[in-house]
Chain A
Amino acid sequence: MSTAAAATASAVTTSTLATGKSQDRNLTSLVFLGALWFSLFFGVVVLFALIVDTAISGADRFDKELFTQYTQSFDPERAEALAATGRDPKDLSAAYTGFKSGIVGSVILMITTALMAIPLGVAAAVYLEEFSSKTSRFSRIVEVNLQNLAAVPAVIYGMLAASLMAAVGAERGIAIGGAVALSLLILPVVIITTREALRSVPDEIRQGSLALGATVWQTTWRQTLPSAVPGIATGTILGLSRAIGEAAPLVMIGFGAINFAPELPYITSKIEAFPLEIYDAAQSSREIVRQAASAGIIVLLAMILGMNALAIIIRNKFQRSW
């Protein structure tokens, strides 16, 4: 069936088609793909190196004292026992450096922050997504403003909270001041992720509810918000995990060097924050204190990575494709 003309054409094409080599697998493509893989895993490798290096230097301090002792606290009985092992006496007190005040303080901070930031953030997001018209001047201003707030450096939130506290005459370094700073810091994150979660709820659900005579608020409260809960939870947990690791804004509020348990009511008590305590320990000239900082870092990372993992699991498990 093939004529001479077709035969020549096929001869040309035959030589190039079945080479057995894919042009997606030629050298440049493979080098390129290799570079992309490198980029993808570079960060993970760094993180791994960070964790391993820190865990090794903190290895001696994964003990119960890390959680039960205050910084610089001294327990003579334990000191005697330690002296028997031949340690340098001037390290004795430092050997018990623990992060109790920081861990307790950070938990208080986180709860207070969550109580302030979540309702405020969700309410703002609900207004922007469900109530306001997208083109109104007010919502456009709020929109641009939120994008800007998300990029404001954390220290500056600390300065704002510090002047707020000063304005109401509150003492420096108390829990509520830190919580205000952290709430302001994560507010844009909570609002943005809540809006995304609300946006992904299909309009049919809203229309179905509105068509039954429900008001906008009833529709939001009973239909839209419940459907958006996994998304909101994910964003909020990620925001809180960022808040718990922040030290810079707390520096501005005057946190630090507290070696006692907070008193009731916690929110007006002076407290210490875990990352700030780690910072202080890291500045120490004594090796043994820096060891405690290493161990503390691993504990802090475990808390934060745990929260991140939880958020990812919630997202991947409950993500509905409408």
Chain B
Amino acid sequence: MTALTQPSPPSGAGSAPVLTARPRRGEAVIKAALVTAAGASVLVTAGILFAVLEPAIEFFRRVPAGEFFTADTDSSYAVFPLIMGTGMTTVIALMVAVPIGLGAAMYLSEYASKRARKWLKPTVELLAGVPSVVYGFFAVFFVIPVVLQDWLGLEISAYNPLGGGLVLGVMIIPTVASLSEDALSAVPLALRQGSLAMGANRMQTTLRVVFPAALSGIAAAVVLGVSRAVGETMIVLMACGSIKNTSLDPGEGHETMTGTIARTALGESPVESTEYKYLFAVALLLFVITFVMNMISIAIVRRFRQAY
């Protein structure tokens, strides 16, 4: 009778299931630890900004900005010759990495069987695993003296962006190939079927339907390749030369941005010297360039996702 107004548990109040939230302290501690770990990556970015900004600001306090942003190679703090060297190396690297990376991506995505892809893709990616010191060594002792000077008979100096850029290009093939392959594979199968059902062959389908449909994803891959090339250090340090140079001849030695940074750090300049602070001003510029490149890449990928 009371059951109507006061429902009682079936077998005594003592065994009633407890459904109220019970504090789980262990769980809360773990969750806090995990949040901290995730937040650490944001701290790292903030740390990078601070670590680079502070000495860079100190540099600009000592040296007028005009002496930094100049192409005048006599100015010991000129940055444009470095940008020139980095730009030239990057362009040469892309001339290798984009066609080859894209070709590899097309084969993996459109021609290779599932089983073949499982082994071929890691093989291509192996190139990214080779240390840059090794690539640098290869550029200085094989590509420049043997391939470029002996075999091709080019009249170039012993250290130059041509040799460095070619080898750097090999290094970033996997970056371009891997992301391009993702973009090509993301093109819906229905589009390929539609093309094949009209009597197009595989090449036509790949080049005229799949490639244009994946173009933005491929663009993102190229942009990321650029940012890899711009930030690579050991190859350009070893192979591109150490002369501040604004000439457009890739066969002459050119100092690069990362080359300057590493060379200054390897040198004997005291930490408080202006030379040493200069390194941070260059690094700040480098960070900004790669950051902007990467944001462009992310933005392109976002837009491309919405397309389907």
Contacts and interface: CB of A to CB of B under 8 A. Distances in A.
A49 interface: yes
Contacts of B63: none
A205 to B, nearest CB: 20
B293 interface: yes
A39 B99 contact: yes
A293 B170 contact: no
A252 B54 CA distance: 16
Interface stretch (A75-83, A91-99, A225-233, A296-304): A296-304
B294 interface: yes
Closest 10 CB pairs of A and B: A153-B231, A39-B103, A245-B131, A123-B37, A127-B34, A248-B233, A163-B51, A36-B107, A124-B37, A151-B294
B290 interface: yes
Interface stretch (B4-12, B68-76, B115-123, B185-193): B115-123
A38 B103 contact: yes
Contacts of A245: 129-134
Interface string B171-208: 00110000000000000000000000000011100010
Interface stretch (B24-32, B77-85, B87-95, B247-255): B24-32
B48 interface: yes
A278 B203 CA distance: 45
B287 interface: yes
Given A39-B104, A57-B141, A245-B133, A152 B34 contact: no
Interface in A108-153: 119-121, 123-124, 126-128, 131-132, 138-139, 141-142, 144-149, 151-153
23 contacts: A24-B201, A32-B203, A38-B100, A39-B101, A39-B104, A40-B108, A43-B127, A43-B174, A50-B134, A54-B137, A124-B37, A124-B38, A127-B35, A139-B38, A156-B287, A160-B51, A187-B44, A276-B133, A279-B136, A293-B137, A300-B133, A304-B131, A316-B118
Contacts of A170: none
A178 interface: no
B65 interface: no
A154 B261 CA distance: 12
B39 to A, nearest CB: 7
A49 B108 contact: no
Contacts of B154: none
A318 interface: no
B267 to A, nearest CB: 10
A136 B101 CA distance: 36
B210 interface: no
Given A164-B51, A216-B27, A247-B234, 5 more contacts: A145-B41, A217-B27, A246-B131, A304-B131, A312-B122
Contacts of B130: 47, 50, 245, 301, 304
B41 A33 contact: no
A29 B132 contact: no
Size category of the binding interface on chain B = 35 or more
A210 interface: no
A251 B234 CA distance: 10
Contacts of B38: 123-124, 127-128, 132, 138-139, 142
A40 B124 contact: yes
Contacts of A238: 129
Contacts of B126: 43-44, 47, 305, 308
A24 B101 CA distance: 23
A282 interface: yes
Contacts of A145: 41-42, 45
Contacts of B136: 279, 282
A24 B202 CA distance: 6
A256 B262 CA distance: 13
A149 B40 CA distance: 12
Contacts of A155: 231, 233, 258, 261-262, 283, 286
Interface centre among A127, A188, A276, A312 (most CB of B within 10 A): A127
Given A245-B132, A297-B137, A152 B287 contact: yes
Contacts of A160: 44, 47-48, 51-52
Interface string B40-64: 1110110110111010000000000
Interface residues of A, number: 93
Contacts of A206: none
A68 interface: no
B232 interface: yes
A231 B119 CA distance: 16
A121 B131 CA distance: 23
Given A29-B202, A53-B142, A245-B130, A184 B111 contact: no
A48 to B, nearest CB: 11
Contact of A159 (B119, B129, B202, B280): B280
A297 B134 contact: yes
A49 B232 CA distance: 22
Interface centre among B99, B137, B230 (most CB of A within 10 A): B137
B34 A187 contact: no
B266 A251 contact: yes
Interface in B106-161: 106-108, 111, 118-120, 122-124, 126-138, 140-142, 146
Contacts of B40: 120, 124, 187
A304 B283 CA distance: 28
B238 interface: yes
Contact of A279 (B27, B202, B238): B238
Contacts of A312: 122
Contact of B45 (A128, A148, A154, A159): A148
Contacts of A162: 51
Contacts of B173: 42-43
Interface in A226-276: 238, 241-242, 244-248, 251-252, 254, 256, 275-276
